[in-house]
Structure 1
Amino acid sequence: MKKVTKRLLIVIPAVLAMGISTAHAEWDEDKGCLSCHEGIEQFSEIEEMADLTCVDCHNGDGAATTLEAGHKELWVNPSDLRVIDKTCGECHSEEVENAKTSMHATMAGMISGTRYNFGSQTRDSIHATYDVKALKTGREGTVESLTQLPSYDPTKAESDTNSPGDDYLRNQCLRCHIWSDGHQRDGDYRASGCAACHVEYSNAGTYEGGDKAIDKTQKDRPRQHRLTKKMTVDQCQHCHNRGGRTGVSYKGMMESDGYGTPYNEDGSKQGKLHGKHYNFLQADLHYDAGMSCIDCHMKTEMHGDGYLYTKKEHAVEVRCETCHGTTSTDATLKTSRGNPMNNLKREGKKVVLTTKNEGKKLNVPQLNGAELSEEGYVAMVKIASHMEKMECSTCHAAWAPQCYGCHAKQDIGKPNGDWLDGEHSDISQLGKKANLKKEAFSWNESRSYVRWETPALGINHRGKVSTFIPGCQVFLTQVDGEKSIVTNKTYVTKDGTSGISHNPIQPHTMSKKSRTCEECHTNPKVLGLGSGQYDIKRNFPDGQAPINFELERFVDENGKQLQSTSHEEARPFNKEEMDRISRVGACLACHGSKEITANGKAPDDVTHKKVIQRMVEKAR
């Protein structure tokens, strides 16, 4: 530890002689903080942190005899990024500097994707929550610097630097970054800075510890005054419940579209989580096995590594083959950048994962040399291109969240909080919802419908077949109180495609049982062609739809892209690819996947036509 206060050095010898814990020594002697906060938990028992006093972290005056004096210049959250250099950064300077460049802090991907779909920039990342410079440069998918997102002024003409999309981000989307405290509602309570992850909050956001000064019924309090390195899935879920929804999907949760029972067994009404009611679907097999997010995702992915990544797919290092290998290669036990997965070990021929929270040992199935089912052998060995050209999740993601139509209503006559600008005497509280300046405008969101079954496929940034889900499908309605300004406006991107979008995703809904061959090779929706059932015109007043394609349809039969994708190099299938996929589907109708690969093709087209002709004649 680089810094220990002078006062603490004086106190330690005396309290050691008295047999008093140094973690509480100064508080007991001064009758200061602990005279009110009796029973509060020691923040950490880690050797380097065990001697920290209240004022070492929180500032204030530990010797004061009144609450006002004791709390003068207090930092309620010492881990907030605005004060962190004077607290956590005293000992963890590298981690702190990296964190400020992480995507958890910059939100570069969300910002660029939203602005791209609002037609105000290309796919390149140019903005972040605040101005930031990279500590390291030169890696693919990174930039050297990012500038703060502009504000929106409705009295000026809409432009690339004055977009309603920027206001949408500032008032709504940007609550989920570690400069802010997040939304104040069940399921979303958390702190800012390091504590966003490392101090656990329950979904109810109430205190469960021993501090007699803290009201156990008051919301927005951590479970305990404790540091943790064992982040639970629920802790990650406090943020990862919108956008790609990977946090809730991992637990098998998909928000309800208004149906389903709202009642508990005792007849009481169910409360909402993240502002929604949920349906419960099949959870990811890794979750069912007892794995938390941190068992796969590396410190460098979450803390940052000094690079300014433009999209999360560039920041994420872990791959399925890291743990499972392929049908022809062993598991690497290392990420795509060569970083070792420290909780993975080889024990003889087995690969064993030790979970970081519970210490549970799990045998990790290995593909190389595995005894595959007949269907698995066909899919992964006989048709080798599946392993070469497809993400594992393409087949093994059992479902994916699909929220169609983001109907966003902005009221420029109603100022509201701006997640990037706050005001408070305690600068560690500037990211708290109650302290936000009313420099953005009020937004109201609704959607057309939600689905989870048969998600579509396309090509991701790695050139592999991947699951696709609706991205930012914004229909903007703008009002000034009761006065209507714009109704159901959609945008066109800089590339000329509709701002209604679909994007590739790893849904985090993995299942041992894969999707069927028939589902992917015969269903138009899976190809991105839509179901053909949603009548876009009848779903808008007087049939005045701002787009001429259904919300599920992001490519036409000729391979023309209809909807945008904000991921560089990602795209729908082209016509050649769709024809090839569908051709297999035609064969499946008669042969089935096993017969196609087992029996091979007819020797020539003439023979094949004769066989079909005989079949037709017999059927007459």
Structure 2
Amino acid sequence: MKDLPCEFCHQGDPKEIDMKMAHDGLLSNPSDYRVVDRTCGVCHYDIVLSSKKSLHATSAGIISGARWAWGAQNTKRAIYGTYNVRDTDKDIPSEHGALTNLNKLPRFNPKRPLTNRNHPVDDYLRAECLRCHVWSRGEERPGDYRASGCAACHVLYSDQGLYEGNDQAISKDRPGRPITHRITSKIPTFQCLHCHNRGDRIGTNFIGTMESDGYGAPWSRTAGAKGGKKLHGKYYNYLIPDIHYERGMACIDCHTQNDIHGDGNIYSKKEQAVEIECTDCHGTLTQKSTLYSSRGKRIPWIWEDKGKILLQGKIDGKIHVIPQIKEILNSNNDMAKTAMGIPGHLEKLECYACHAKWAPQCYGCHVQQDLSQKAKDWIESKRSADLSKAGERGYLAQSAFKWRETRSYLRWDDPTLGINSEGLVAPFIPGCQVIFTQIGPGSNSKFTNYVFTTSEGISGISSNPLQPHTIRKEARGCESCHSNKKALGLGTGTFIPQKNGIPIPFGLDQIVDENGTQLQSTSHDGARPFNREEMSKINRMGVCADCHKFMTDPVIWKRIKKRVGSAQTRKLHTKVLKHLIISDENN
């Protein structure tokens, strides 16, 4: 890139001596999607074409999830995106969830009847939730500074958005500037956090942070001022980070180009778009990593050398040895060998069902729409002579209504479990748990603490499966799943919604009742809570803890292993158990 002249990207006319004429047609951000076809797309046509169809550009998952929970559409698949987009290459793998097209999200008109195409959820999305698609520059505040288009990732911004380079023409005091005027493919984790701090919060989770209840961190030495660093509009608590981050890895050390740029298809959900799986790098019980992704693509930054699977970090070049699941059976970790020796665990659970240390749980999002006040619209822009500025906050049209958000409470402890869209046990966290209030001119109430119902007749209070990105070597204990009502989806019974003004007969942390009846919706096809039979079986397995958790005397286990060996499979476990029972009866 250093050999390209400025005008190759920014355009304008360098031969003109009159500044106004020289700057005619100048693009402040050549990578903005409105102009990218004649800039980045000249050399990177395929990547640009794919990225415009990616979830980073369409926000199809956010839109379809919210609209489903609010009862605004009768399918969990995406219908709308940020803008009109169509896949015209005639290679549309619908079996993987790929779509032909998405239409631009409708506008809400409160003077018209409520319909699937005229719904307040669309205004909520436009005013609040859609700040992070890459057609937009996003919320310009500490932690969220970034550019739009390709530069949203490939041009780095600090949390404070201040320039740190040597170009005298760029202010170092005015926020909203990149760290340096430079494009890079070495994208550090902090760049991803500029967007991935809401919803699943996987970016902030990864580094071990979760927003506080609003009180903020300890006091500073200035009277009345808080000492915590406020990012993304929130104060944060510091928790244990993901082990990959702790070991020095970045997001791009796991996620592939197809994960980030898209693979050329239009998808509704991230599980359809993301190709990397834990076992792609860590292998299985029977074989080491094949060095290929779950979609059959070679992962070029991992390889095998002298029997070890290695990974080279893309940021610092550091070589990491990737532990292989197969090696666990040859380790000295008895609990790990016991857990891995249960076939059902490996066949029916996502790795992170056990190895996610914690997950953010933001229960009960109370939102208020004020029809008497206008607000910015994250997908409507005013006309600009410089098209590449249209994604900036200052150029957004005031065509949405004012919204305010609060929440009931936050947790980070062991999350609920359920079945994800791949049919595997995975953590579930609160999704679009919206309790909606609408006020009109003169503060006349239209809806007050209202909960929508999905087209399936289930409450729009929702919980969804996720990969929390809080992986640790130490897994959840047996009892945290097998002797835990919350893990089963039955909730804690602590929060009483009706007494808090929420018109639902179940707790915000309860997704199913004892009979296996689903209480909360999920916006992912195939995802669901445990049924009655599954809950009964998981509870029954709780008796394992009597031996494997509470008999902590190492002498006892040493004697048992000396007498009957180690039970590494279900068959061996049954044999050992019978031997111990018979021995006990004889004695």
TM-score w.r.t. the length of structure 2 is: 0.91
Structure 1 counterpart of 2:340, from 380, 393, 398: 380
Contact 2:374/2:399 (8 A) holds in 1: yes
Indicate whether 1:400 and 2:359 are aligned.
yes
Cα offset, 1:462, TM superposition: 0.8
Indicate whether 1:69 and 2:29 are aligned.
no
Q: Deviations over 1:216-260 (max 9, x none)?
A: 111111111100000010100100000000000000000001245
Structure 2 counterpart of 1:464, from 424, 431, 452: 424
Query: Whole-Å Cα distance in 2 between the matches of residues 521 and 345 of structure 1?
Result: 38
Amino acid at match of 2:68: Y
Equivalent position of 1:30 in the other structure: none
1:147 is paired with a residue of what secondary structure?
Answer: strand
Amino acid at match of 2:143: G
Query: Whole-Å Cα distance in 2 between the matches of residues 488 and 210 of structure 1?
Result: 53
Equivalent position of 1:536 in the other structure: 497
Query: Whole-Å Cα distance in 1 between the matches of residues 281 and 547 of structure 2?
Result: 37
Contact 1:517/1:593 (8 A) holds in 2: no
Q: Deviations over 1:180-223 (max 9, x none)?
A: 10111111111111000000010101111122122211111111
Query: Whole-Å Cα distance in 2 between the matches of residues 126 and 294 of structure 1?
Result: 29
Q: Deviations over 1:320-368 (max 9, x none)?
A: 1111111212112111111111110100110110000100001111121
Indicate whether 1:137 and 2:98 are aligned.
no
Equivalent position of 2:563 in the other structure: none
- Summarize the alignment of residues 359-378 of structure 1 with structure 2, pairs less than 5 Å apart: 359-370=317-328, 371-372=330-331, 373-378=333-338
Q: Deviations over 1:257-287 (max 9, x none)?
A: 1245343578864341000000000000000
CA RMSD of aligned residues (A): 2.1
Equivalent position of 1:390 in the other structure: 349
Structure 1 counterpart of 2:245, from 287, 292, 301: 287
Query: Whole-Å Cα distance in 2 between the matches of residues 425 and 525 of structure 1?
Result: 55
Q: 1:569 to 1:490 in 2, by over 3 A?
A: same
Amino acid at match of 2:407: R
Query: Whole-Å Cα distance in 1 between the matches of residues 178 and 355 of structure 2?
Result: 36
1:247 is paired with a residue of what secondary structure?
Answer: helix
Contact 2:229/2:236 (8 A) holds in 1: no
Amino acid at match of 2:422: R
Equivalent position of 2:177 in the other structure: 221
Indicate whether 1:296 and 2:247 are aligned.
no
Equivalent position of 2:68 in the other structure: 116
2:116 is paired with a residue of what secondary structure?
Answer: coil
TM-score w.r.t. the length of structure 1 is: 0.86
Q: 1:264 to 1:291 in 2, by over 3 A?
A: farther
Equivalent position of 1:173 in the other structure: 129
Query: Whole-Å Cα distance in 1 between the matches of residues 548 and 233 of structure 2?
Result: 48
Indicate whether 1:420 and 2:358 are aligned.
no
Contact 1:457/1:468 (8 A) holds in 2: yes
Moved more, 387-396 or 589-598: 589-598
Contact 2:512/2:520 (8 A) holds in 1: yes
Contact 2:217/2:236 (8 A) holds in 1: no
Equivalent position of 2:539 in the other structure: 582
Equivalent position of 1:147 in the other structure: 103
2:213 is paired with a residue of what secondary structure?
Answer: coil
User: Which structure has the larger Rg over C-alpha atoms?
Assistant: 1
Q: 1:315 to 1:153 in 2, by over 3 A?
A: same
Query: Whole-Å Cα distance in 2 between the matches of residues 469 and 82 of structure 1?
Result: 35
Query: Whole-Å Cα distance in 1 between the matches of residues 32 and 180 of structure 2?
Result: 18
Contact 1:352/1:363 (8 A) holds in 2: yes
Query: Whole-Å Cα distance in 2 between the matches of residues 363 and 131 of structure 1?
Result: 44
Indicate whether 1:308 and 2:308 are aligned.
no
Amino acid at match of 1:133: R
Equivalent position of 1:126 in the other structure: 79
1:196 is paired with a residue of what secondary structure?
Answer: helix
Cα offset, 1:455, TM superposition: 0.4
Indicate whether 1:564 and 2:524 are aligned.
no
Amino acid at match of 1:485: K
Q: Deviations over 1:10-34 (max 9, x none)?
A: xxxxxxxxxxxxxxxxxxxxxxxxx
Query: Whole-Å Cα distance in 1 between the matches of residues 76 and 372 of structure 2?
Result: 31
Consecutive unaligned residues in structure 2, runs of 5 or more: 552-556, 558-566
Q: Deviations over 1:103-135 (max 9, x none)?
A: 111111111101000101120211111111113
Q: Deviations over 1:373-420 (max 9, x none)?
A: 100011001x11101110000000000000001111111111111111
Q: Deviations over 1:457-490 (max 9, x none)?
A: 0000111000110000001111125332211111
Q: Deviations over 1:52-80 (max 9, x none)?
A: 22222112232344543333221110000
Query: Whole-Å Cα distance in 2 between the matches of residues 601 and 210 of structure 1?
Result: 71
Query: Whole-Å Cα distance in 2 between the matches of residues 295 and 592 of structure 1?
Result: 36
Query: Whole-Å Cα distance in 2 between the matches of residues 265 and 349 of structure 1?
Result: 55
Query: Whole-Å Cα distance in 1 between the matches of residues 548 and 7 of structure 2?
Result: 74
Q: 1:212 to 1:405 in 2, by over 3 A?
A: same
Query: Whole-Å Cα distance in 2 between the matches of residues 405 and 197 of structure 1?
Result: 32
Query: Whole-Å Cα distance in 2 between the matches of residues 156 and 431 of structure 1?
Result: 29
Equivalent position of 2:530 in the other structure: 573
Consecutive unaligned residues in structure 1, runs of 5 or more: 1-43, 612-620
